[in-house]
Amino acid sequence: MPLKPVDLQLLLVLSAGDQHGYGLVQAIEQATDGLVSLDPGNLYRVIKRLLAEGLIAEAQRRAAADLNDERRRYYKLTALGGRALADELRRLRALTSSPAARTVLRTWPA
């Protein structure tokens, strides 16, 4: 199943380790040079969907600074999420390395 771009970004961030919601927003913005910026409502809709699909799970880990803030939830990549991420990256690599894609990249340079 092709992943939505925002799902791909979120799973990529979580592949580096557990993260809380605001940390996800910051990491995605940084990884995309500000092209993807999630507001809290959109972020938590994506998180809710990925939790339901079994691609991510709530992590037990809490940073020391967060011990007094029970509202802060951390999320982690599941085994299923890791496989879906790897499959999507393989799919994108095959797509972008096709002869047609190489022709487009030569024809339409950045």
> What are the tens digits of pLDDT across the range 89-109?
999 999 999 999 999 988 997
Domain count, the chain: 1
Q: How far apart are CA 22 and CA 92, in angstroms?
A: 27
Model pTM?
0.84
pLDDT at residue 91, rounded to an integer:
95
Q: Which residues constitute the domain of residue 52? A: 5-107
CB 57 within 8 A of CB 80: no
| pLDDT at position 1 over 90 | no
> Is the torsion defined by CA of 61, 64, 70, 73 positive or negative?
negative
The string of pLDDT tens digits covering residues 27-82 is: 999 999 999 989 988 999 999 999 999 999 999 866 555 555 667 889 999 999 99
φ, ψ of residue 56 to 5 degrees: the values are -135, 165
pLDDT at residue 72, rounded to an integer:
80
Element of type H or E holding 27: helix 21-31
What CATH number did the domain enclosing 102 receive? 1.10.10.10
